[in-house]
A and B are shown apart, each in its own frame.
Chain A
């Protein structure tokens, strides 16, 4: 060891390590140390008191998910919601791609820039703001109700946010409103990378615009699409909770609770810390498996993974 430090280069390397040590400690505390909290899933944890060994519960919480029919029904319902929302996003994942492809066809540059700018904007506002915008547009005196009523489509104001109908679809619409423009940027970047001579040659050969799109543009951006689909498959169980948390209310609770939100509600609602941790452990395990699986598929198909 002493010899190690006699080398000037090694000494410098160790000093550099000391420079980054505080930040490594931050990472250890905020990313690795919480993993220790997974033990709560194996205890009967009552929040304010420290853990003691006589609260050890083994796999009780994991078993209770399957054994208790009420809980099982609820978890199945939550899974159904999670699958429905992620499934809808996956089903329409081609939308940003098509959006980018046709946006690229617009010849008027200022208009193109304008559309791109304004459709990207919603990505940068928070879900709370999206909700408050939704509230302003859809409340009983909001623009949607006033227009529908003046057209005579509805007789009295509808409370769109407080209804249990089409919740999955509505959530998908808001998600798309927020994200589509931003996702399209990825494809626009990919389209810019297409060799201009290729399209030029096709045009000279008499290809129509639709033919160019079908045979040149789309095939060249399919790899990007593939990677993004794989990534969204890897995140199938993690919809995040913010969107669903802000839109949640007593009326739509049954069909809006996704896994992340359920974990939160469980923990905050009646202090079910242990069960909630047990569920999030299972979720993490499945997510890691999904990530490895999709990465494997990507390696098979493209010869390169994304991790």
Chain B
């Protein structure tokens, strides 16, 4: 029987029809194109930021860097606004992720506690918010009344409780054997003790997944700055980038003013142009995502498979 199977397997392997082979080749070609379309834009912008701005400006840098230099990065780093925006973006990503993850884990766990007073009601109270949205004006007015406009906490608090992540955690906690908790409680552990000593270590994988998604969301957030913030001290990197793309002429002046000392040393070919600044800032903003991407790629399927389980 086993031998017969092997023969079949071999036969099948050899029996590749011409049509199949054509499909095979076509698949490779098409997916190479898809991959190229997704990678090349990043690569193109990168090589242009490290090539001579003069050549870049004339559209001569297409496939490899020419006349390598790093002046663009040196100069962009000296724009004071940009550095502050970087700090704000990093701060909101760290603080926001911490809030989201801790709350998701804690509420996810609490909603599995049968002792919790009116558990079902509170769970539905939180989960229902996934399905409605008051709209931007009522939301904006609420934020203004709470003095969260032009306030760093306006980035954090509205995004802190995320029902979807809470449901993920709840599902995960439910899959943990109940005996673990029971045993700890018999030994006299309180609710919080059970959470920190028993639950948190077990649900670490899902917390890592949530942390990554929350961090990416915080890093990418743009709309809240647009709606809530007029104070340029609180602008995020995304918002600053958006401004740089839309204000053409003042941009060059900005760089040449703030860095005139350095600029004298730079040769004419390396002088900053509006486009070169935009490209460089784009790379600065995209780099953190590309750096953490390989780490969180591992969590994709896991996160999606758990997400597919209904809450």
A→B interface (CB under 8 Å): 9-10, 12-17, 19-20, 23-24, 26-27, 29-38, 40, 99, 102-103, 105-106, 111, 114-115, 117-122, 124-129, 131-133, 135-137, 139, 141-143, 145-147, 177, 181, 185-186, 188-189, 203-204, 206, 208-210, 241-242, 245-246, 263-264, 267, 273, 276-277, 280-281, 283-284, 288, 291, 306-307
Contacts and interface: CB of A to CB of B under 8 A. Distances in A.
B248 to A, nearest CB: 10
B51 interface: no
Contact of B161 (A16, A23, A181, A204): A23
B161 to A, nearest CB: 5
Chain B interface main SS type: helix
A208 B20 contact: yes
A146 B63 CA distance: 12
Interface in B220-269: 220-223, 226, 238-239, 241-242, 245
B125 A284 contact: no
A17 B116 contact: yes
A145 B242 contact: no
6 contacts: A19-B191, A37-B139, A129-B282, A189-B305, A241-B223, A284-B132
Contacts of A132: 241-242, 245, 278, 281-282, 285
Contacts of A128: 222, 238-239, 241-242, 245, 285
B58 to A, nearest CB: 7
Given A132-B245, A136-B44, A20 B110 contact: yes
A228 B289 CA distance: 27
Contact of B293 (A38, A121, A142, A185): A121
Given A23-B103, A105-B24, 20 more contacts: A14-B117, A19-B106, A27-B161, A29-B142, A30-B161, A106-B28, A114-B35, A124-B220, A128-B222, A136-B41, A136-B44, A146-B62, A209-B20, A246-B242, A276-B135, A277-B137, A277-B138, A281-B135, A284-B134, A307-B131
A35 B134 contact: yes
Contacts of B197: none
Contacts of A30: 142, 157-158, 161
A133 to B, nearest CB: 5
B245 A16 contact: no
B201 interface: no
B192 interface: yes
Contacts of B78: none
Interface residues of B, number: 90
Contacts of A31: 129, 132, 134
B309 interface: no
Nearest to A28: B125
Nearest to A17: B117
A135 B282 CA distance: 10
Question: Which 7 A-B residue pairs are closest in the complex by CB-CB distance?
Answer: A37-B138, A280-B135, A146-B59, A34-B134, A126-B220, A31-B129, A17-B117
Given A13-B117, A29-B142, A135 B286 contact: no
Nearest to A25: B161
Given A40-B138, A263-B136, A288-B131, A10 B125 contact: no
Interface string B291-303: 0011001001100
Interface in B159-213: 160-161, 191-192
Contact of B134 (A38, A117, A142): A38
A15 B191 contact: yes
A120 B289 CA distance: 12
B53 to A, nearest CB: 11
A117 B161 CA distance: 30
Interface of B: 8, 12, 15, 17, 19-20, 23-24, 27-28, 30-31, 34-35, 37-39, 41-42, 44-45, 48, 56-60, 62, 103, 106-107, 110, 113, 115-118, 122, 125-126, 129, 131-142, 146, 157-158, 160-161, 191-192, 216, 219-223, 226, 238-239, 241-242, 245, 275, 278-279, 281-282, 285-286, 289-290, 293-294, 297, 300-301, 304-305, 308, 310
B290 A118 contact: no
A128 B224 CA distance: 13
A208 B118 CA distance: 58
B183 to A, nearest CB: 17
Contacts of A246: 222, 242
Contacts of B140: 267
B34 A119 contact: yes
Contact of B27 (A16, A38, A105, A147): A105
B282 A136 contact: yes
B27 A181 contact: no
A185 B304 contact: yes
A132 B41 CA distance: 10
A111 B24 CA distance: 13
A292 to B, nearest CB: 10
A291 B59 contact: no
Contacts of A147: 62
A188 B305 CA distance: 11
Contacts of A133: 41-42, 45, 282
B23 A276 contact: no
B196 to A, nearest CB: 12
Contacts of B161: 23, 26-27, 30
A142 B62 CA distance: 9
B279 A27 contact: no
Contact of B301 (A24, A29, A125, A189): A189
Given A20-B116, A106-B27, A267-B137, A177 B293 contact: no
